[in-house]
Structure 1
Amino acid sequence: MTDGGLRERKKRETRLALSRATIRLALERGLDAVSVEDVAAEVGVSERTFRNYFASKAEAVVAAQVERGQRIGEVLRERPADEPLWDALVHAVVEQFEPATAGPDADRYGAALQRLLAEPAVQHEVFRAHATAQDDLTAAVADRTGTTADDLYPQVVAAVVSAGLGAAMARWTRDPGQSLGSLIRDVFDQIRAGLPDPR
């Protein structure tokens, strides 16, 4: 790995560490009760370092989501060219969320996460993250299918993936006792089947 690549990886790791620390502390104490100084101390960096990465705690909360969105596009581009698109998409999406498993305090975690995501500042950042992730995925789908990001097909696919992932995350947040990876697979199975009438 080149020095530039190593630097970028370290920056990415620091950014994610700050994001995870912000989320962990906010779930424990509430976002307003957590200071930037608290988060920086948790990660072992300066408050200035936090400010170099994020303009606000809300932006830090959503950074892991932004990272996952970017990784979905990257992984999709790395999948075998002859793999069916939806198989590749499911793999790329699930890979980013598979570690999310239920723990003994799953219900309490889910309730705290709902409160955190309901914060107006966090909701604004989530909206921005969704838009960015959808644009990134549109470009990745276009690359894979020989279309362009301006074409309708990759835009529709990215929008459907975004909506399906949003539905899975919303369900998991309400019931974190289940496997998020399994839930995402179930959502995508229904999408691939053409969303048949459940009756």
Structure 2
Amino acid sequence: MTTTPGLRERKKAETRQAVYKAALRLVAEHGFDHVTVEAIADAANISRRTFFNYFADKADAVMYGEEQRHQLILAKFRARPAGESSWPALYRVAEEIYGELGEPDRDWSLRIRLARRHPSLLARQLAGLGALERELAQAIAERDGDHGLRPRVLAGAYLTTLRIATVVWLEEDQNRGLAESTMAALDELGRSFED
């Protein structure tokens, strides 16, 4: 009996997600420097060899959720109606993402806070944000037909606003939701980019 590609891909996605969650949990419990690939593989119930089929190292596993969010932002932006200008499209992307994913739980915020304290993870996060900014600026340029400075400024300002809203939410006692904090921050930014 053969499995369909759809089932195989779903199983791969489930394994990747299990490894990612195990990596975050272990880093939150023990610190990045005290977690090994072997420990992550054991927690995810896979072999060390299987781990390397999915991730290059433990930092890749920890940062996988960040990469997923980056790809989601790009995919949703590209899927917005063609006649919609970039600022409203970006705003709607944030609304859609929070509408679909809901609020992160407190465990997520704790794990993210702990994981981002490590210099190598911070470096990867910044590199990932730089790549996302370039791709998003290109998508904005294609959408608006403007290949000047504005797409880069808009992409950079949008991503910085998302980051600031998350940092403020993490640093405060989280009395209001991340979605509410993010949309309020985007409202502030939007005053500069509304058409």
TM-score by length of 2: 0.80
- Name which of 183, 188, 191 aligns with 1:190: 188
CA distance change for structure 1 residues 109 and 45 in 2, over 3 Å: closer, same or farther?
A: closer
Question: C-alpha displacement at 1:128, in angstroms?
Answer: 1.2
Does residue 37 of structure 2 align to residue 39 of structure 1? no
Amino acid at match of 2:25: R
Hey, what does 2:103 align to over in structure 1? 101
User: Equivalent pairs: percent with the same residue?
Assistant: 32
Number of residues paired by the alignment?
188
Cα RMSD, aligned residues only: 2.8
- Whole-angstrom CA distance in 2 between matches of 1:5 and 1:139: 31
Structure 1 residue ranges (4+ consecutive) displaced by more than 6 angstroms after TM superposition: 3-6
Question: C-alpha displacement at 1:100, in angstroms?
Answer: 5.6
- Whole-angstrom CA distance in 1 between matches of 2:23 and 2:98: 19
Question: C-alpha displacement at 1:67, in angstroms?
Answer: 1.7
Question: C-alpha displacement at 1:97, in angstroms?
Answer: 5.0
Hey, what does 2:151 align to over in structure 1? 154
Question: C-alpha displacement at 1:129, in angstroms?
Answer: 1.1
Hey, what does 2:88 align to over in structure 1? 87
- Whole-angstrom CA distance in 2 between matches of 1:65 and 1:130: 9
Secondary structure of 2:41's counterpart equals helix
Amino acid at match of 1:120: P
Residues 62, 129 of structure 1: 8 Å contact kept: no
- Name which of 149, 161, 179 aligns with 1:164: 161
Hey, what does 1:144 align to over in structure 2? 143
1:96-144, Cα deviation, whole Å (9 max, x unpaired):
45536365xx4x8655543321111111111111112112212221232
Question: C-alpha displacement at 1:182, in angstroms?
Answer: 1.2
Secondary structure of 1:194's counterpart equals helix
Residues 85, 144 of structure 2: 8 Å contact kept: no
1:137-166, Cα deviation, whole Å (9 max, x unpaired):
122212322345xx3222111111111111
Amino acid at match of 1:32: D
- Whole-angstrom CA distance in 2 between matches of 1:94 and 1:57: 32
Hey, what does 1:123 align to over in structure 2? 122
Secondary structure of 1:20's counterpart equals helix
- Whole-angstrom CA distance in 1 between matches of 2:191 and 2:70: 24
Q: Which moved more, 1:50-59 or 1:110-119?
A: 110-119
- Whole-angstrom CA distance in 2 between matches of 1:11 and 1:176: 37
Uncovered stretches (5+) of structure 2, i.e. residues with no partner: none
TM-score by length of 1: 0.79
- Whole-angstrom CA distance in 2 between matches of 1:14 and 1:87: 36
Secondary structure of 1:44's counterpart equals coil
Secondary structure of 1:118's counterpart equals coil
- Whole-angstrom CA distance in 2 between matches of 1:109 and 1:43: 18
- Whole-angstrom CA distance in 2 between matches of 1:4 and 1:153: 42
Does residue 71 of structure 2 align to residue 70 of structure 1? yes
Residues 28, 110 of structure 2: 8 Å contact kept: no
Uncovered stretches (5+) of structure 1, i.e. residues with no partner: none
